[in-house]
Structure 1
Amino acid sequence: MSTSNYFEVIIVGGSYAGLSAALALGRSLRNVLIIDNGLPCNRQTPYSHNFITQDGREPGDVIAEAKAQVLKYSSVKMVNATAVKGEKLENGFQITTPEGEDYKCRKLIFATGVKDIIPNINGFSECWGISVIHCPYCHGYEFKGQKTGIMANGENAVHLASLVINLTKSLSILTTGKANFNESQIQKLEKHKIKIIETEIQEIDHESGHLKNVIFSDGRQLPLDALYAAIPFMQHSAIPASLGCEFTKGGHITTNSFHKTTTEGIFACGDCATMMRSVANAVSSGNFTGAIVNKELADEAF
């Protein structure tokens, strides 16, 4: 192992949270390595919203500018690779890439995000992040007043409906199976004239990712401009689990208020550690995590 492969901090994931953490650490002259494969989860989304000073910009442009700013700090390095293995060492950790390159560090930050599990519906993946969307705060304003659906059931559907009804009155819930609402929830949906459709979705009819119709298994079609979809996800990286990090019931890496995981020396920020999936939140959590890690390093050395 050469000294060039040793760092005070390794950040796995170089999107919004990871770059924000690196910026805080780089400005404190910490020797930092970012390992990133260049595949952020919002790469198909045309515009980033609800992020002050960056509202409406293309995500790729925001990332490119962020990388340029972060890598101006000479103590921060970045490699284009996927971290595939992690090991605990006596005084830190080792991360390995598919090329067999090993990197060691004292502190480890996971900013690896999550991977959405796309349902087996024709056209869904092509529309994901464009007109089939996950968040009213990130996308809702752009579809205000338009024909909108919610692909969810039970409490998830009611929660989304309560947020979206302020953006459009043309709203339907598509449960893709038997509806699961209690009497109180049904009354709320009826009060706001929200239709419930239980028929299974067969296909998303679209043009270059822009939704036109939802086609059901019985052949019926529902014209829509936007479809919110509450779909499951998985962690992008299996390394946190292999290093003993615990997870919440919802599937996120468990952290405390200082973004520390349950494994000493490991931190997590961004989408992998919170249900609040937004660029602004990722940047905020990354910035705070970088400051906390710097403080730990400072306390250990002072």
Structure 2
Amino acid sequence: MQHYDVAIIGGGPAGLTAAMTLSRSLRRVAVLESPADPRNAGSHGVHGILGLDGVSPAEYRSRAWSDLARYGMAELHETEAVDLVPDPRGGGFEVVTEDGGPFWARRVLLATGMTDIIPELEGFRECWGASIIHCPFCSGWENRERAWGVVTADPEFARKAPRAFAAWSDDVIVFTDGEAPAGDLGVETVTGRIRGLRHDGGDLRAVELDDGAVVERGTLLWQLDQRPVPLVSRLAKDRGLALREDCYVKTDGSCRTSVPGLYSAGDTITETQGAIESAASGSTAAFQIIEDETA
């Protein structure tokens, strides 16, 4: 069994930034990343990180591993972690993987991200990450000066949408996707259920409703429901990992979870899910791991 100072589950901005900080602190690190496409695979680019703005997610990972290779402390394992078994001898974890090859690590960082619940709508997957976006700060620039639709059943969010997104579009309407609005939202509102999306190669053209109506739009802001990845759900069920009511991993503000020696960073702990926020969270987790080791 291979031994590491830290096992990082997930190879996105949070996990890779933590791997860099730990590598430069001479910690031997295993980064476990599922060979399946990452959650942001459909994104046209990573934004907000100076010097890397606009690079594709694949290029971001390639550059990150090129940087990590200089230190020789981090190893990539393209496999999925399915369980963490606390070492009964007094510290550390056995990291169980889907291919059966276990690892042992003194500390583990969960940087798995979340699982988006994708609507089964014609055209959604083709547009997701390009003209259907989850975050205006991530993709608003690329969708500026287009007709926007905001898909939400949250009346407060709906009311502020035209002002909140005015920098990117002066034509913003709200789709409640079949939900009855709570009173007058003060914004143009479409209440019919969405049944499909018209697009040209992933470039949204219009929204089709159940009643046959077609509403022309160029961009949808759609913040999808999310659920934890299977590993996190299993740890919550079997290992005492505490989750918040909204299913994100509960931490103490320094990326420590309820399980001693287990940390969490990035999209697993917050709905604020930009690349730079995740990277900062990964750095915080790495510093806390090092501090806890020397306490």
Give the AA of the match of 1:231: L
In the alignment, structure 1 residue 298 sits paired with structure 2 residue 294 = yes
Question: Structure 1's 71 and 179: CA in aligned 2 closer, same or farther, altered over 3 A?
Answer: farther
Look up the match of 1:171: 172
Q: Give the SS at the match of 1:238.
A: helix
**CA distance in structure 1 between the partners assigned to 2:104 and 2:157 by the alignment:** 42
**Corresponding residue of 2:182:** 181
Q: Which residue of 2 aligns with 1:96?
A: 96
Question: Is the contact made by 2:81 and 2:231 (CA closer than 8 Å) also made in structure 1?
Answer: no
CA distance in 2, matches of 1:49, 1:277: 12
Which residue does 1:50 correspond to in 2? 48
Q: Does the Cα contact within 8 Å between 2:19 and 2:31 map onto a contact in 1? A: yes
Q: What residue in structure 2 maps to residue 30 of structure 1? A: 27
Contact 1:136 1:163 in 2 (8 A): no
- Give the fraction of aligned pairs with identical amino acids, expressed as a percent: 26
The separation in 1 between residues aligned to 2:125 and 2:160, in whole angstroms, is 23
Unaligned runs of 5+ in 1: none
Aligned-partner residue type, residue 172 of structure 2: L
CA contact (8 A) 2:135 2:223 kept: no
Give the CA deviation at 1:159.
Answer: 5.2
Question: In structure 2, what is the Cα distance between the partners aligned to 1:41 and 1:25?
Answer: 24
Match of 1:141 in 2: 141
CA deviation string 1:74-122 (max 9, x = no partner): 2211101011122111311111111111111111100000110011211
Q: 1:282 is paired with a residue of what secondary structure?
A: helix
Amino acid at match of 2:242: E
**Corresponding residue for residue 68 of structure 2:** 70
Q: Which of residues 195, 214, 237 in structure 2 aligns to 1:221?
A: 214
Change in Cα spacing, 1:160 to 1:59, as seen in structure 2 (3 Å) is: farther
Q: 1:230 to 1:162 in 2, by over 3 A?
A: farther
Q: Residue in 1 aligned with 2:248?
A: 252
Give the superposition deviation at 1:134.
0.5
CA 1:156/1:118 → structure 2, altered by over 3 Å: closer, same or farther? farther
Looking at structure 1, the residues matched to 144 and 115 of structure 2 have their Cα atoms a distance apart, in angstroms, of: 27
Cα 1:259–1:160 change in 2 (3 A) is farther
- What per-residue deviation string (whole Å, max 9, x for no partner) do you get for residues 226-278 of structure 1? 00112201112434323211111221100112110111111000001111100
2-structure distance, mates of 1:139, 1:150: 14
Shift of 1:156: 3.9
User: What is the CA-CA distance between 1:286 and the residue it aligns to?
Assistant: 0.5
How far the C-alpha of 1:160 sits from its partner, in A, is 4.5
Contact 1:245–1:262 (Cα < 8 Å) also in 2: yes
Equivalent pair of 2:162/2:170 in contact (CA under 8 Å): no
* Structure 1 position 153 matched with structure 2 position 150: no
4+ runs deviating over 6 angstroms: none
Tell me which amino acid in the other structure corresponds to 2:175: L
Does 1:15 find its partner at 2:12?
A: yes
In structure 1, the residue matched to 2:285 is 289
Amino acid at match of 1:69: D
TM-score by length of 1: 0.91
Q: CA deviation at 1:182?
A: 4.4
Question: Under a length normalisation based on structure 2, what TM-score does the superposition of the two structures give?
Answer: 0.93
- Code of the residue aligned with 1:179 in structure 2: it is A
Deviations 1:177-234 (A, max 9, x none): 1333345xx2xx3xxxx31000111101112211111111111111111001122011
Q: Give distance in 2, aligned partners of 1:20 and 1:255.
A: 19
The 1:243–1:67 alpha-carbon spacing in structure 2 relative to 1, beyond 3 Å, is farther
Q: Give the Cα–Cα distance (whole angstroms) in 2 for the partners of residues 58 and 212 of structure 1.
A: 24
2:239 aligned residue (240, 243, 257):
243
SS across alignment from 1:84: strand
Distance 1:226-1:236 versus aligned 2 partners, 3 A rule? same
> Partners in 1 of 2:16 and 2:271 — Cα distance?
20
> CA contact under 8 A between 1:109 and 1:269: conserved in structure 2?
yes
Counterpart code for 1:147: A
Matches within 5 A, 1:241-280: 241=236, 242-280=238-276
